[in-house]
Structure 1
């Protein structure tokens, strides 16, 4: 059996585009690094006040595991805010609009994985926050 393991100090963080003065989001893209072929996995780090883009995946189911901080996630056509503390998990079915945010005062760390991995970009939507 073949396996790969990556320690957190080996993550290659990519800073996502953001406006000057706006808190940043950073992603460690893990799927290729660990040789994953059936799921897409990333670790996201949101600085305090950072928020992602509201989007929807047509075929990909996503699950978010909060590793540190508290995730505020806005779900549904009429966005409903759900706060997920450290150790909590939220599952988002395909086609569900979502937007993630860090309303706390410490970095938010989230492991996100999706199945099946989509090759196309998600549909971008008007922001909830």
Structure 2
């Protein structure tokens, strides 16, 4: 049996992201689920763009702060201790608004893991 203990603060920050991203599942050697920690300051978004996944289910567990999620049906506020979930093909954009009182910390879980599964979504189209 193999076990892992991963401290996100010991991991390298992923460059070219709009906020602080640490890849937890990769560090733990997990292949069947993607687990990441995002820390976003006011004005930062978690993903690179408004998007949906073709096959991946995605969930955001809010550790601290309040996560805002834009969807075609409206904006949702997800407080600390709560979870936002998106089914495949459900467009969303998770972010911390510019007028937020502080940062937001989120653990994102996606399965199956898919690096090329995200599709850009334009709400105006």
- After TM superposition, the score normalised by the length of structure 1 is 0.84
**Residue correspondence of structure 1 range 1-129 to structure 2 within 5 A:** 1-17=1-17, 24-51=18-45, 52=47, 53-75=49-71, 78-103=72-97, 104-126=100-122
Number of residue pairs matched? Answer: 120
- Aligned partners of 1:29, 1:3: CA distance in 2, in Å? 17
Report deviation, 1:79: 4.1
Report deviation, 1:74: 1.3
- Aligned partners of 2:14, 2:30: CA distance in 1, in Å? 19
CA-based RMSD of the aligned residues comes to 1.7
- Contact kept in structure 1, 2:70 and 2:92, CA below 8 Å: yes
- Contact kept in structure 1, 2:55 and 2:117, CA below 8 Å: no
Report deviation, 1:55: 0.4
- Aligned partners of 2:15, 2:102: CA distance in 1, in Å? 17
The runs of 4+ residues in structure 1 deviating greater than 4 Å are: none
- Mark the runs of 5 or more structure 1 residues left unpaired by the alignment: 18-23
- Contact kept in structure 2, 1:49 and 1:105, CA below 8 Å: no
SS in 1 for 2:14: strand
